Chains A and B, each alone.
Chain A
Amino acid sequence: MTGILKVAFKLLVNDKGKFFALLIGITFAVFLMVMMTSMFAGILKRASATVLNVGAKVWVMDPAVNNVVSTIPMPDYVLDAARSIQGVKYAVPLYSGAALVKLKSGPYQAVTILGLDDATLFGRPQLLEGKIEDIYAENAFFVVKDSEFSKLDNPKLGTEFEINDHRGTIVGIAKVNTSGLFGIPTLYTTFNRAITYIPSTRFTAGYVLIEPKTETAVPFIKAEVAKLGYEALTKDDFIKKISDFYTYHTGLGTNVMLMTIISFLVGLSISGQTFYTFILENLEKFGALKAIGAKGSELIAMILFQAIFTALTAYGLGVGLATLMITVARLRLPDYAAEITYFNLGLAFVMALIIAAISSYIGIRKVIRIEPFDIFRG
């Protein structure tokens, strides 16, 4: 650190009251921004849980599908046509729907049912208990052991329940990477059992999952599927489509954006006001420095250093606080959907720097305008 920046550092941190006010203001703003955007990121990730958990590279669906739960079943010929497209290694159907199960204890519980292709079980979850081949047993279902698991009365292997007047038996307990958004348990079974047990429309396949032979085949596959009047999306495209739906076609994105902007403005106003007061109090001293021989660029460097140092320290504190809060919340609330992403961190970082830039700009304007002559004149 050069000498003049060390002077700036000491001027800043030795004024403990203002320094802490600045830190608290920006920390609070960063904390709120990270929390808001992390909750949004968590919600978006959970909204794409099925896509992430099943893991297929290409998803074929009705173009009107805008999120994973609102499936529009497609006729069987789409599956056949997909299998015949050049560049497709294999294609399988996926059933995705909702149902009510009646628990042994009496109450009904809504569940998400995923029906895997009978022949390949493509997209199956990792089993914690039970054997994969047991899925072919009579009435067999796998249950996902996630934060919603307890809503099915913590089933064990062999636990029975009722689904649309059919008996269901838990033959495997599975785990997945991401829980769903809507707080309901997930059951896996075979495609055929799913369409048999659950009231179905004429068409049954919600999605056709495609494994392309090569990555380069994907554009051609997309084009061929489009000719059928359907849409083929890569996993990332589908996740983006779901995110876009929640971001732009529900109030969620707007609300989170507003809250983030409000957090930014709160931080900016506290920081700007405090920094301005700090500069005003030291204005004559800066004028004296100018008179002694400090150049304008050195004074600007001092103020920028003070603002950036405060912003970065507060950024670290804010991110740390948000991480702590999310960690504690997850321990207490298994459903808690918040995820700190690099994007969130980058956004909060940029916001903190903007707070520092605007705060220091106000100070710099004052300091640049102060004339050493004013110091003499008193």
Chain B
Amino acid sequence: MATIAVKAVELNKWFGDGETRTFAVRDASFEAYFGEVLYIVGPSGSGKTTLLSIISGILRPNTGQVMVEGRDLWSLSDDAIADFRLEKVGFVFQDYHLFPRLTTAENVAIPLILKKINWDEALKVAGEYLEIVGLQDKVGLPPVKLSGGEQQRVAIARAIASHPDILIFDEPTASLDGDTGKRIVSFIKEKILNDKRCIIIVTHDSRIFEYADRIMNMEDGKISGLRNGGVHES
């Protein structure tokens, strides 16, 4: 039986008060497991990103719990939640958010540096992760000298460099052409996923649905369905 990586219980998140109150996430409960790729899909404004932010320790819910390793994430202090993100979660942002003034290796080393690993050691480890994503020859280049797909891979290397249990991808193919997008997601599934890691991907892109183990649909802040992946939807 698969082990639960994240368990969301009755999550609610709203913005505004009184008549202006708008629910971004409503009564969301689900489980994500180690060893799976879980997609969160749905139209714009359906609450995917808000839900992703809540379960990754970025946005505090108004009600509900996020259980990780048997404890409620949102009962922790701000610093402990920051530590949780650093130790347990790897992020790949839609726009990558790489530092253009740092080299690719230095970008990848950032989570390690935040974990107080010695600069030279962090750069060495970063080089190893750049090798995993096939960018060993780009170590000393700034990200602006790389293509979109290569920048995406640098962002992946940065996300996995700190050995996170949970990997969060926000629209990983949004800035890539179809083939590159598929190659990236295929790479994620084949090389990055393992049975001690859970990967959660928010996407609109139906071309990559075939790589999902499960797909969770959201509409108007509610989880409207959960199905197995691997089916290419048009």
| Residues of chain A at the chain B interface (Cβ within 8 Å) | 2-4, 6-7, 10-11, 14-15, 282, 284-285, 287-296, 298, 371-373, 375-378
Contacts and interface: CB of A to CB of B under 8 A. Distances in A.
Contacts of A376: 49, 52-53, 58, 93-94, 170
A296 B70 CA distance: 27
A146 B118 CA distance: 60
A14 B114 CA distance: 20
Nearest to A377: B49
B86 interface: yes
24 contacts: A2-B116, A3-B109, A3-B117, A4-B113, A4-B114, A7-B99, A14-B102, A288-B91, A288-B93, A288-B97, A289-B114, A291-B93, A292-B110, A292-B114, A293-B114, A294-B82, A295-B82, A372-B53, A372-B58, A375-B93, A376-B58, A376-B94, A376-B170, A378-B94
Given A10-B102, A292-B86, A292-B111, A285 B97 contact: yes
A319 B158 CA distance: 42
Contacts of B117: 3
Given A10-B102, A288-B93, A293-B114, A3 B85 contact: no
A89 to B, nearest CB: 67
B68 to A, nearest CB: 14
Q: Which of B83, B101, B109 has the most CB of A within 10 A?
A: B101
Interface in B91-105: 91, 93-95, 97, 99, 101-102
Among B93, B116, B122, residue most surrounded by chain A Cβ atoms (within 10 Å): B93
A275 to B, nearest CB: 15
A325 B94 CA distance: 53
A97 to B, nearest CB: 67
A373 B110 CA distance: 19
Given A4-B113, A376-B170, A377-B49, A11 B59 contact: no
Interface of B: 49-50, 52-53, 58-59, 78-79, 82-87, 89, 91, 93-95, 97, 99, 101-102, 106, 109-111, 113-114, 116-119, 122, 158, 170
A296 B53 CA distance: 18
Given A7-B106, A373-B53, A291 B101 contact: no
B114 A294 contact: yes
B114 A10 contact: no
Given A14-B102, A292-B111, 11 more contacts: A2-B116, A7-B102, A10-B101, A15-B101, A282-B99, A291-B91, A292-B85, A292-B110, A293-B86, A372-B53, A378-B95
A185 B78 CA distance: 73
A296 B83 CA distance: 12
A373 B114 contact: no
Contacts of A377: 49
B97 A375 contact: yes
Contacts of B101: 10-11, 14-15
Contacts of A293: 82-87, 89, 111, 114
Nearest to B171: A378
B91 A292 contact: yes
The 4 closest A-B pairs by CB, nearest first: A293-B86, A3-B113, A288-B97, A14-B101
A183 to B, nearest CB: 54
B199 to A, nearest CB: 16
Nearest to A7: B113
Contacts of B116: 2-3
A11 B107 CA distance: 11
Contacts of A6: 113, 119
B211 to A, nearest CB: 21
Nearest to A10: B102
A232 to B, nearest CB: 64
B97 A284 contact: yes
Contacts of A290: 82
A292 B107 CA distance: 12
Nearest to A294: B114
A294 B109 CA distance: 13
A85 B99 CA distance: 78
B65 to A, nearest CB: 19
A145 B89 CA distance: 78
